[in-house]
Amino acid sequence: MEELKNEALAQIAQATTTAALKEVEVHWLGKKGLITERLKTLGTLAPEERKNAGRDLNILKNEIQTAIAERTVTVAASEIQQQAASLFIDTSMPGIRARSGHLHPLTMVTEQVVDVFERMGFFTLDYPEAESEFFNFDGLNIPSDHPARDTQDTFYLTDGNLLRTHTSPGQVRAMREFAPPFKAIFPGRVFRCEATDACHEHTFNQVEGIMIDRSVSVANLISSMMTLLSGVFGRQVVVRLRPGFFPFVEPGFELDIQCMVCGGSGCPVCKRSGWVELMPCGLIHPNVIRAGGLDPAEWEGWAFGLGLSRLVMMRYEIDDIRWLMSGDLRFVRQF
Ligand code: DAH
């Protein structure tokens, strides 16, 4: 008995995990454990011996049980401590800086333009990039023999529609959609099938703006555009107005801005002229008012088409339009 007891207690003392203790328990007290087996053989002993052996075995069984229970408390506590230590997070360690994203310069300038116009009472509209010939051309008083319809300039879609070559189709759409008087802008991407260079890209951005009222003035048109430009550039910019021809306006103008990349001395962006065409504009042609479902005897309007990509280039002094669509992170991360 004494030997058995010492052996059991030694095993219990040596066990350093709760799993090991469980094994010791099974070894001694399990269904086929050493003590259990011995208790089963009591019946084969003589009655006198049986009594003593039974008592001693039960005392030993209790002692082993108690020892295991006590040891389990100690071992479990140290196991929990170890686990906690391995989970410890040192909150004083320097963190890993997450690289935050930001808006593309085109998006930033678009939002700025939208903001300036919305403060002047314009609302912002979004019209389809895949457009019909009617809205892109006919409705804008661009007859079918106009060079702008040349397949060189326009991407035609297989379903008979085309990719809009400018944001002007929104003029006719807006007049059909809203009751005048109103003023609205429609920013968006436009597409032209042309060779690319520092100032030409097949996909670029424009913002179209129109104001429809019973009587509108060129003075109001120009003052709206000056407000826009000083809003975007944060200072007065140098502009000039020239006559310009567009089938959908009469009279038509070209508003040029002095090149802000070279300051007017000449560079690839301004084709070495010192000026960049930024905003063609004019009073809406009566045929266009009519295409919009309004009576030109009753309603007038002005419109402008702002080259957003050019504006972004001027604003951030970008010398090649192709950077804008390049997807090059070295470019985008500079803003
Ligand atoms: N849609 C013309 C273009 O992309 C630009 C334009 C000219 C828009 C005169 C206008 C305008 O609204 O009045 O070339």
The one-letter amino acid at 75: V
* Nearest atom (ligand 1) to Cα of 166: 4
Q: What is the mean pLDDT of residues 75-102?
A: 88
Task: Specify the pLDDT at position 51.
Answer: 86
335 alpha carbon – ligand 1 mean position (Å) = 29
Which residue has a Cα nearest atom 3 of ligand 1? 166
Q: How far apart are CA 175 and CA 181, in angstroms?
A: 10
Q: What is the mean pLDDT of the chain?
A: 91
Q: Rounded distance, CA 256 to CA 89, Å?
A: 61
Give the CA distances from residue 173 to residues 131, 210, 287, in Å, rounded to whole numbers and listed in that order. Answer: 11, 11, 14
Contact 209, 303 (CB under 8 A): yes
Q: What are the tokens at 228?
A: 């826009």
User: Based on the number of CB atoms within 10 Å of its own CB, is 273 exposed (0-12), middle (13-18) or buried (19 or more)?
Assistant: middle
pLDDT of residue 47 exceeding 90, the answer is no
Q: What is the pLDDT of residue 151?
A: 67
Cα dihedral sign, 130-134-139-140: positive
Residue 298, phi then psi, degrees to nearest 5 = -105, -35
pLDDT class for 161, splitting at 50, 70, 90?
very high
Closest CA to 277 of 311, 328, 235: 311
pLDDT mean over 182-207:
93
Contact present, 255 and 280 (Cβ < 8 Å) = yes
Q: Name the one residue in this structure whose structure tokens are 């208790």.
A: 39
Query: Is the pTM above the cut of 0.85?
Result: no
- Cα–Cα dist 191/156, whole Å: 10
Pocket of ligand 1 (CB under 6 A): 166, 168, 208, 246, 249, 252, 280-282, 303-305
SS in 3 state form for 97-155? CCCCCCCCHHHHHHHHHHHHHHHCCCEECCCCCEECHHHHCHHHCCCCCCHHHCCCCCC
pLDDT above 80 (res 269): no
The predicted structure's pLDDT at residue 174: 98
Which tokens belong to 297?
A: 């005897």
For the chain, helix (H) and strand (E) counts, in that order, are 11, 9
Shortest-distance Cα residue to atom 5 of ligand 1: 305
Q: Is the pLDDT of residue 95 over 90?
A: no
Percent of the chain predicted with pLDDT > 90: 54
CA 305 / ligand 1 centre spacing (Å): 4
Strand partners, 277: 256
Q: Which atom of ligand 1 is nearest to the CA of 171?
A: 12
